[in-house]
């Protein structure tokens, strides 16, 4: 009887999760009128892929997957999903940071500007923090174990759009547990080629279409937009571990 009850509960949970996913897709509205994919690389071992969908009402849906090499931690994977309204202001975002070759659960952060809530979920559980919703939200990038900022094209674009939509923005730093106000013109400056924004220790350059270049000062890397990404290493995570074992 207990086994049957557990099976039924599992089925109900799966159905509820499926329903949530479907409702989320419907909430995005009609099909996008434009979809573009942007690729970035530092030419060595870090890369990023971003899909930007523009809806008929002017809203944007972003999905990004970025791999960044971090000294002492190996390859980090940062997955981001965000929605911006027609003004360019953030309405929802989720990030998940994990080690590319680890089975550890990622650290997830959920940003809900309308509710003024930031949620952090990891192996230790969930933490909720309140944050003012008196200005457009700009997301401070997550950090690696050395405290270095991991800016991406997605977080850069959120910052640029927020700064262009209002005189001031609210910088949400989940890692530090802070939410401070800042003048938009101190975070983003117009240039001959587009706009340059300061995102933590990173510099972000964007043109009319999207982000063109990220200068990750803290890690000494620069990721530029390219037409194609370099071929991935032939060694997968499991193969790399085996190779290291044989080396000893």
Q: Given this model, what pLDDT does residue 232 score?
A: 61
Stretch (H or E) spanning 20: helix 2-27
Cβ atoms of 63 and 50 closer than 8 Å: yes
CA distance 223 to 44: 10
Q: Which residue has the tokens 């959120």?
A: 158
Rounded CA gap, 92 and 226, in Å? 28
Tell me the whole-structure pTM to 2 decimals. 0.82
Instruction: Pick out the chain residues at pLDDT < 70.
Output: 1-30, 72, 232-248
For the chain, give the mean pLDDT: 82
Q: Copy the structure tokens of residue 189.
A: 């400056």
| Predicted pLDDT of residue 237 | 60
Q: What is the pLDDT of residue 123?
A: 82
Q: Would you kindly state where each structural domain of the chain is located, as residue ranges? A: 29-230
pLDDT of 137 reads 98
pLDDT for the residue numbered 17? 36
pLDDT score at 156: 95
């Amino acid at each position: 009887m207990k086994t049957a009850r557990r099976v039924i509960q599992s089925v109900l949970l799966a159905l509820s999760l499926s329903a949530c996913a479907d409702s989320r897709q419907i909430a995005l509205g009609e099909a996008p009128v434009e979809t573009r994919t942007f690729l970035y690389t530092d030419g060595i071992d870090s890369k990023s892929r971003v899909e930007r969908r523009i809806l008929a009402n002017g809203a944007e849906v972003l999905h990004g997957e970025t791999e960044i090499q971090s000294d002492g931690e190996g390859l980090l994977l940062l997955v981001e999903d965000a929605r911006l309204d027609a003004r360019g202001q953030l309405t929802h975002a989720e990030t998940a940071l994990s080690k590319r070759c680890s089975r550890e659960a990622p650290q997830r952060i959920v940003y809900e500007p309308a509710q003024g809530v930031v949620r952090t979920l990891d192996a230790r559980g969930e933490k909720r923090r309140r944050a003012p919703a008196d200005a457009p939200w700009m997301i401070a990038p997550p950090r690696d174990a050395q405290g270095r900022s991991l800016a991406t094209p997605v977080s850069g674009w959120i910052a640029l759009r927020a700064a262009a939509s209002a005189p001031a923005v609210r910088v949400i730093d989940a890692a530090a547990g802070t939410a401070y106000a800042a003048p938009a013109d101190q975070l983003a400056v117009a240039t001959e080629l587009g706009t340059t924004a300061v995102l933590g220790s990173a510099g972000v350059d964007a043109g009319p279409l999207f982000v063109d270049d990220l200068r990750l000062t803290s890690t000494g890397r620069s990721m530029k937009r390219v037409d194609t990404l370099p071929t991935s290493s032939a060694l997968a995570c499991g193969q790399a571990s085996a190779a290291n074992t044989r080396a000893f």
